Structure 1
Amino acid sequence: MVNLDGLRVAVTGAGRASGRLLATAFAEHGAQVFVSARDEVAARRTTDSIRQRGRGRGEAFVCDLTSPDSVRAFAAALTDRTDHLDVLVNNGAGYLHGVDLGDVEDDHIIATIGGTATGTVLLTKHLLALLRASTRPDIVNMISACGEVGHHRSEAHPAFYAAKHAQAGFAEIMSHRLRVEGIRVISLFPPDFVQHGPRVASNNLTAQSVVDCVLFAVSQPRDCFIREFRFE
């Protein structure tokens, strides 16, 4: 069984769906989870769920990844509450539908690319000191198969593809540059997946399977640098 007792973990976009599942899974394995979401009520619902399950701990924060001020405020709040951070999960990203480039308004394109790409870069930047203070730091990036070169199978908007390619490029260079410090940068490239369903070969990938990959990666010994998970 995965034992993450006492680890301090920050998860963005943890107010719903797979982000909430990630946060509660870390807590169930003993972690103290800093739960962030654009909506404070949604973040508190996640921490309520963590409390009801009764093992790890959760604390709710507001973090709108499309707003640099909000990102900096979240990082400052964590710095006030802890002297180190063991795991940062860059999960927050707004999915954008639309096959045609003109299917969405400009402000939605700006928010999608800004929140996913710029938001990930800024939050990692402002939490890097806390990660460097950990004895076992990991950065986990929930990217998407849309960030893979040559992937064309999603119905996501081209701006979402652009955002995920930017996030993937950032993750790759940070993996290379931070490895010498013992900071593991782990990226996942799941295809469009379902929140619930039977976990069998003939069905779509489930959120729980993606979460299990994350837990597996961060629980490995420190000589094990798993850089990427790619899925069929």
Structure 2
Amino acid sequence: MRELEGRVALVTGASRNIGRAIALALAEGGAGVIVVGRQDRAAAEGVVAEIEAAGGRAVAVLADVTQPEDVAAMVAEGLKAFGRLDILVNNAAVRHESPFAEMTYEAWRATMAIGLDAAFLCAKAALPALSEAGEGTIINIGGLTAYTGAAHRAHVVAAKAGLDGLTKALAHDLAEQGITVNLVSPGLVDTARVGKEPHHHASRKNLAGRRGRPDEIAAAVRFLAGPNARYITGQTLHVNGGAYLG
């Protein structure tokens, strides 16, 4: 089934983990994929190689999605490669931890910049191309703690909660241009991590009795990007094994 044939997707934070799985899933659906990483070109090109080995189309682009100039150049490079843009997936994020009493304003701003501001910048830069596409879609990747809270993550929780609000606002603003805007909120997912296990994971449980897989999050994104989800906008799709029943 190649329901995304002829369409093009841009995925931020696509070099590894959930972002990589999303890029692979959209390519499997037939979309050309702009694989965006921040610094590791080899990792981004590795995802491109995986897509091409399966018969898909992809290009690697490096960009700091907190910087307007980088974001504009990123979209321009993607359009140069494919000539159009139909799907924007705002996946890039950081999930640092710090007790609130020790949290610096610089750490707060850095987390908000990539977790929330970047989605604003990417949506603004992609808007002309998404509008021209006729049936464009924006899919933001949120997080379970935006709805449950978590210790040592005031900046992350605030950014993800703000992303939920931005999703609803953009659904209103962009509806007349034929653009749907939704959010996929993953629960605890089995991914490769740098550093120690996050503080709140020790107490996190769900009805499924296991962690999710990146491809399970990617499947939800692929559905929302496809033709069978055109009547869905402004919604949050929770993919968390029953950890939170929203």
Instruction: Give 2:128's aligned residue.
Output: 129
Instruction: Give CA-to-partner distance per residue, 1:43-77, whole Å, 9 cap, x none.
Output: 1111112122x221110001112323222221232
Is the Cα contact below 8 Å between 1:146 and 1:161 reproduced in 2? yes
Q: 2:231 & 2:2 partners in 1: Cα distance?
A: 16
Offset of 1:115 from its aligned partner? 1.2
SS at match of 1:133: helix
**Could you tell me how far apart the structure 2 residues matched to 1:156 and 1:86 are?**
37
- What 5-or-longer segments of structure 1 have no aligned partner? none
The residue number in structure 1 matching 2:238 is 230
Cα distance in 2 for partners of 1:88, 1:177 equals 16
In 2: Cα distance, 1:194 partner to 1:45 partner? 20
Residue 21 and residue 103 in structure 1: after superposition, are their counterparts in 2 closer, same or farther (change >3 A)? farther
Are 2:67 and 1:46 aligned?
no
Secondary structure at the residue paired with 2:65?
coil
Whether 1:120 aligns to 2:116 is no
Question: Does residue 209 in structure 1 map to residue 216 in structure 2?
Answer: yes
Partners of 1:171 and 1:119 in 2: how far apart? 13
CA-CA distance at 1:120 after TM superposition = 0.8
Length-normalised TM-score, structure 2 = 0.82
CA shift for structure 1 position 93: 0.8
Q: Does 1:35 align with 2:41?
A: no
Query: For residues 77-226 of structure 1, what are the structure 2 equivalents within 5 Å?
Result: 77-98=77-98, 100-103=99-102, 105-148=104-147, 151-152=148-149, 154=150, 157-195=153-191, 201-221=208-228, 223-226=230-233
CA contact (8 A) 2:9 2:85 kept: yes
| 1:202–1:183 Cα change, 3 Å | same
CA offsets 1:165-196 (integer angstroms, 9 cap, x no match):
22222111001121222211011122232239
CA 1:46/1:171 → structure 2, altered by over 3 Å: closer, same or farther? same
Q: Which runs of 5+ in 2 are unaligned?
A: 193-206
- SS of 1:24's equivalent? helix
SS class of match (1:64)? coil
* Partner in structure 1 of residue 71 of structure 2: 71
Q: Cα deviations across residues 107-138 of structure 1 (Å, max 9, x unaligned)?
A: 43322111121111011101100000113211
Percent identity of the aligned residues?
Answer: 26
Aligned-residue Cα RMSD (Å) equals 2.1
| Shift in alpha-carbon separation, 1:224–1:62, aligned structure 2, 3 A | same
* One-letter amino acid matched to 2:74: F
State how many pairs are aligned.
224
Instruction: Work out the CA distance in 2 between the residues paired with 1:31 and 1:15.
Output: 17
Q: Are the aligned partners of 1:143 and 1:167 in contact in 2 as well (CA < 8 Å)?
A: yes
C-alpha distance 176-195 of structure 1, shift in aligned 2 (>3 A): same
Whole-Å separation in 2 of the counterparts to 1:103 and 1:15: 31
**1:221 aligned counterpart, secondary structure:** helix
The answer to whether the 8 A contact 1:30-1:55 is kept is no
- 1:124-157 deviations in Å (ceiling 9; x for gaps): 1011000001132111000112333xx12x4562
Aligned to 2:26: 26
* Residue in structure 1 matched with residue 59 of structure 2 by the alignment: 59
